[in-house]
Structure 1
């Protein structure tokens, strides 16, 4: 279970597989860790296994209806926020979806920038707000504009590197384990034995330059 604010993890539950993958790809490009499922029972299984900030939930899911997924999240007092998608944009449908416990509602077809903006807004409501700018040791991360600087020089970071650095900054000097980084910045397909965190950390250290800012705490994790 995550205890600090962090880079966002999103579940996309949409039975139109092409649309689900398009949404997931766009959200990953925006810097989020994203998993996709195509049925309501799979959505419930993933929601039971992982700690998501937001679920993008299609109402008309097979096997277990999206409405039932929303009901169970509400019944479990889950902190996961629900952005409900529907092919119907009628007022009655919107009201019904919100009454079921959805935090926001978006009709299809939708403009992708609006989806990203709504997901970000829901994430801010899911936990303690993250300061829009994080600063420490000459590092400056703008979490809204997704820009990073060290001593005034812009850093060319990948979305994954940005996520890792944001998590370390939010830890405020505390040590973050590799397992925690993997849980918070990677999706469920990440193999914990591939050394993905170690590789990303090596690239991030190279881009941050000297003097070194990230230290390895042997057997524990990483800290600024």
Structure 2
């Protein structure tokens, strides 16, 4: 039987280690185990072996763009919540492209940390609700 427990709650993909490590530490201290990587390929490799509940993707990554990573993540797991992380002045067309590629939402890096935390916690709560709903539907259909 496949392990259904996630290895971490958040996987953060950002090319700025100060941002990703700070956010991972902040989330972990708030009780949300988090991992961070600076590269899209490492994120994809990590997800091929482990599970997480939410992925946060910077749109401006080296050697790729966030939209391509969103599409690759969506191909791996159609239900995985993906939040795009943007900077002020980020091109609106980039955000729209990421949303079309499968991102569930976006958030600005410039939000105060508490607001950013509230957004990510809400996404995590919705992901858990949906996972529980799917599990219960399977149990009910299996029992019928």
Unaligned runs of 5+ in 2: 132-144
Describe how 1:108-127 pairs up with structure 2 within 5 A: 108-127=109-128
- Bigger share in helix: 2
SS at 2:110's partner residue? coil
TM-score by length of 2: 0.77
Query: Partners of 1:7 and 1:45 in 2: how far apart?
Result: 14
How many correspondences in the alignment?
A: 130
Tell me the CA shift for residue 90 of structure 1: 4.9
Question: Which residue of structure 1 aligns with residue 85 of structure 2?
Answer: 85
Query: Partners of 1:40 and 1:129 in 2: how far apart?
Result: 26
Tell me the CA shift for residue 41 of structure 1: 0.9
Query: Partners of 1:44 and 1:95 in 2: how far apart?
Result: 22
Unaligned runs of 5+ in 1: 131-224
SS at 2:52's partner residue? coil
When residues 128 and 8 of structure 1 are mapped into structure 2, their CA distance, relative to the original with a 3 A threshold, is: farther
The superposition leaves residues 110-165 of structure 1 with CA deviations (integer Å, 9 ceiling, x where unpaired) of 221122111111122223369xxxxxxxxxxxxxxxxxxxxxxxxxxxxxxxxxxx
Question: Which residue of structure 2 aligns with residue 61 of structure 1?
Answer: 61
2:13–2:43 contact (8 Å) kept in structure 1: yes
Query: Partners of 1:10 and 1:20 in 2: how far apart?
Result: 11
